[in-house]
Chains A and B, each alone.
Chain A
């Protein structure tokens, strides 16, 4: 099937720590991959994306590389800030019949302490 698996949360780090949130996807078709972020009380917003193997998406200091060989799209940031506290969702596309659908992982809650 088409699914996305994220590392279990919650994740708690100190400010300036290195962040990795793991994400793997089922190797069905040639999906585009996304990371969305949800700040408290808000809807999801796109953080970064990659559309083909070896692409690297980056934004706001976050990076993720589309690894076809390991079917992974891990999110990384070298030095996190308190303002990065949010829930992060990994997602992949499913295309078929003209429809575009996103399948989301279960989300990882990140808390950054000062």
Chain B
């Protein structure tokens, strides 16, 4: 089954304790992206990756890191989490420009992060 898998689904942590949210897709997609969802703000892009070893900042990259060492994986790293990073996070993937300008984004089920 084609899917984007995120882990964990729920995470509670404390300020300053490094954490990683994993994301994996099995569709051989080139493009992967991380979004955060906050009430009243919709989804905002954190980082995206056009291919292996190619990453770039989205609209709200501060406090986050990503890496793309393999095509299927795109982990999101919070080196020193703060309470304002409490949010619902989504990983997404698509064919990217190779799929045309309207290629569908496939989303993971989300990770609810609480930073105390």
Residues of A within 8 A of B (CB): 32, 34, 36, 41-46, 49, 51, 89, 93, 95, 98-102, 104-107
Query: Contacts A43-B90, A43-B110, A44-B90 known; A102 to B105 CB distance under 8 Å?
Result: yes
Smallest beta-carbon distance B22→chain A, Å: 15
Query: In whole angstroms, how far apart are the Cα atoms of A58 and B104 in the complex?
Result: 15
A44: nearest chain-B partner, CB-CB: B107
10 nearest A-B pairs in the assembled complex, by CB-CB distance? A43-B107, A32-B102, A106-B42, A104-B42, A104-B43, A44-B107, A51-B102, A46-B104, A43-B109, A43-B108
Query: In whole angstroms, how far apart are the Cα atoms of A39 and B61 in the complex?
Result: 27
Residues of B within 8 A of A (CB): 4, 31, 33, 35, 40-45, 48, 50, 56, 58, 90, 92, 94, 96-97, 100-105, 107-110
Whether the Cβ atoms of A107 and B42 lie closer than 8 Å is yes
Query: In whole angstroms, how far apart are the Cα atoms of A101 and B41 in the complex?
Result: 17
Whether the Cβ atoms of A99 and B108 lie closer than 8 Å is no
Point out the residues of chain A lying under 8 angstroms from B45, CB to CB: 101-102
A-B contact pairs, 17 of them (CB 8 A): A32-B101, A41-B109, A43-B90, A43-B92, A43-B110, A44-B92, A44-B105, A45-B107, A89-B43, A98-B50, A99-B50, A100-B94, A100-B97, A100-B103, A101-B48, A104-B35, A106-B41
The A contact surface, by secondary structure, is: strand
Inter-chain contact total with CB atoms closer than 8 Å: 60
Query: In whole angstroms, how far apart are the Cα atoms of A45 and B105 in the complex?
Result: 8
Point out the residues of chain A lying under 8 angstroms from B42, CB to CB: 89, 104-107
Point out the residues of chain A lying under 8 angstroms from B96, CB to CB: 100
